[in-house]
Structure 1
């Protein structure tokens, strides 16, 4: 008789926790579980990302009160993100054993897009920091802060993209599935 190794035990525990919380949250926000409402959440979340990017650019351009704009946008981002996770069933970060073959294929495709987007968007603050640090007289603290905000925005966009894709593309649940 073989004993499961550490990784297998971790995956089994992760699956149990996922299924426990999926059951616990399955009935929250029932009116927001339609494709139309999920798409609305995706659009509003994308708008929040655009606002975060604009704030980063404003900070890079020297707006001293930029951090004061960053905080309210973040405060709006988190409830939106949590709501989208709830109504989409957290499929983007579900363990393999909790999904069927079609869901795994959809999740992996969405994750691939998210990774590509993260890598692409993270190049912007990297180039910004290289150019500003090496070729300008811009205050280093301001440049670093703007670069950090840009990078954080890029990471948030990339991390949220798989859920946004799945929430946008998944059809409404069948009535007997609810």
Structure 2
């Protein structure tokens, strides 16, 4: 029984090492895009895509029937692409364990995590109010659930949006040092 924590700890360390190696590999992607201007453009695209998904949720089970899938899928594809690109550009701060972050990155991550939590809480209240407002309409329950899912997706993008908008430009010298011959 005393060997178990040792094996689990060793497994956890191997997993963290794999995550760190994957992050080093991702850090080499899109070097010309690692500017505030590019990140802010992606943030604007992501916000518009989130709004398109929310608009699609308002049209769920309401005529004309083609509007919901068109809005939802376009918002999902556009937003998903912008979100994944933003996650690459913001680096480890959006998706890494604290052990892999330096003090500056850890501070940014804690800040945006709190902002994201607060925004998600408010979005869930909006979803609740929307659900109550449409409860007596035809398909009110599923329409409320669809709005909940749209606002939940939007809420999960908030940390990447805040980081993408507010992070300063990367220092090109630091980026070249980090690329080394690893």
Q: How far apart are residue 170 of structure 1 and its match?
A: 1.6
CA RMSD of aligned residues (A): 2.4
Q: Which runs of 4+ in 1 moved over 6 A?
A: none
> 1:5-154 alignment to 2 at 5 Å?
6=8, 8=9, 12-59=13-60, 62-65=63-66, 66-133=68-135, 136=136, 138-140=137-139, 143-154=140-151
Q: In 2, Cα distance between the equivalents of 1:9 and 1:42?
A: 38
Q: Could you tell me how far 1:51 is from its partner in structure 2?
A: 1.2
Contact 1:90 1:163 (8 Å CA) reproduced? no
Q: Per chain length, whose mean CA-contact separation is higher, i.e. which structure has more relative contact order (CA < 8 Å, sep 6+)?
A: 1
**d(CA) in 1 for partners of 2:142, 2:53:** 13
TM-score (norm 1): 0.84
Q: Partners in 1 of 2:42 and 2:141 — Cα distance?
A: 32
Is the alpha carbon distance of 1:34 and 1:152 closer, same or farther for their aligned partners in structure 2, counting shifts above 3 Å? same
Give the equivalent residue in structure 2 for 1:176: 173
Aligned equivalents of 1:116, 1:11: Cα separation in 2: 30
User: In the TM superposition, what whole-angstrom CA distance separates every residue of 1:53-108 from its partner, at most 9, and x where no partner exists?
Assistant: 12222337654332332112212221111111111114122111111122111101
Distance in 2 of aligned mates of 1:109 and 1:151 = 25
Mark the CA change 1:122 to 1:78 in structure 2 (over 3 Å): closer, same or farther.
same
Partner Cα distance (1:12, 1:164) in 2: 30
TM-score between the two structures when normalised by the length of structure 2: 0.82
Aligned residues: 172
Greater mean deviation of Cα atoms: 24-33 or 37-46: 24-33
CA contact (8 A) 2:45 2:78 kept: no
